[in-house]
Amino acid sequence: MKKIFLLLFFSAQLISCTEPSGPEAENPGPQKRVVTGKVTDGTGQPLANAEVVANNTQFYNNKVAKTDANGRYRIELENGSWYMRASVKVSYAGQLSQFDLLPDNPGAFAGSEGAVCNFRWQLSGPRTGEFGDGGYYGGSVAVFRGGNDWGFDLADVELTMTPIVLADGTKGEVVRKSLSGIEGGDDGIADIPVGRYRITARNMQSGRAMQVRVRNAGQSFQSSVTTDFKVVVISRYRIELEVGFPD
């Protein structure tokens, strides 16, 4: 009887060691010729129907999958070198817009060994820099002098951007940035979380409030402007403003 008890005890211990639960069970590790992972939003909730792409580094060949209701995907691979990309399409600014997702395993891997690559949606922060994916996940704000008002230095302009709603539905935080060292124009403020903002401007040298408008939108100058980031190219967003002093 004692031997039977000991056998059952050690069998139970063996099962507990070989059948993990929690995160380890969700991510069992790489499987040969397969890449798997999970896609989440900024709060850690799963993103369904995100598009995940396995790209071959040597040939124009890719494999595409969609995430399930739990944000999970699985792609079978051949031998070779592969890297991962993913994106999600959501309704933003009145249209269906695409946002690239941040991988936790951005480098190349061997298809014969497989990999686990999870993705997260974030609206700002540096991209991986791998395989041409440079820049930021956030949008840029370009600032130009408005009309014939050239009597100020763009480096002295400070913007206050109060979010109304971000592209992922969150509230966001107030952003206050100056153009000091940037000089405005195409070299504007980088990496602002994409969303809708109410924007004001002031001159840091004089402390005076400035007027602002969206560039090339047929607007008159106002004390503030409310606008969304616009798509420049797929998954890259931008706001263009003009600033000046009241007449």
- Of the two residues 187 and 171, the one the predictor is more confident about is 171
Taking CA 184 as the corner, what is the angle to CA 178 and CA 189, rounded to the nearest 5 degrees? Answer: 55
* Banded model confidence at residue 2, pLDDT cuts 50, 70, 90: very low
Average pLDDT over residues 73-78: 97
Q: How far apart (Å, rounded) are the C-alpha atoms in residues 211 and 32?
A: 60
pTM (two decimals): 0.84
What is the pLDDT at residue 183? Answer: 57
Q: Which residues contact 153 (CB under 8 A, 6 or more apart)?
A: 205
Query: What is the DSSP track for 196-222?
Result: EEEEEEEETTT--EEEEEETTTTPPPB
Q: How far is CA 48 from CA 85, 88, 138, in A?
A: 16, 9, 22
**pLDDT number for residue 180:** 79
Amino acid letter for position 40: T
Cβ neighbourhood burial of 129 (10 Å; 0-12, 13-18, 19+): exposed
Residue 188, classed as helix, strand or coil, is: strand
What mean pLDDT comes out for the span 196-201? 98
Distance, in Å, from the CA atom of 110 to the CA atom of 223, rounded to the nearest integer, reads 56
Residue 185's pLDDT is what?
65
* Whether the predicted pLDDT of 4 surpasses 70: no
pLDDT grade, residue 61 (50/70/90)?
confident
Query: Does 234 or 9 have the greater pLDDT score?
Result: 234
Task: Of 81-90, 162-171, 186-195, give the lowest mean pLDDT range.
Answer: 186-195
Segment 139-149, tens digit of pLDDT: 999 999 887 76
Length of the chain: 247
Choose among 243, 135, 145: nearest CA to 194: 135
> In the structure, what pLDDT confidence band is assigned to residue 60 with cuts at 50, 70 and 90?
confident
Residue type at 228 in one-letter notation: D
129 bridge partner residues: none
Q: 164 pLDDT band (50/70/90 cuts)?
A: very high
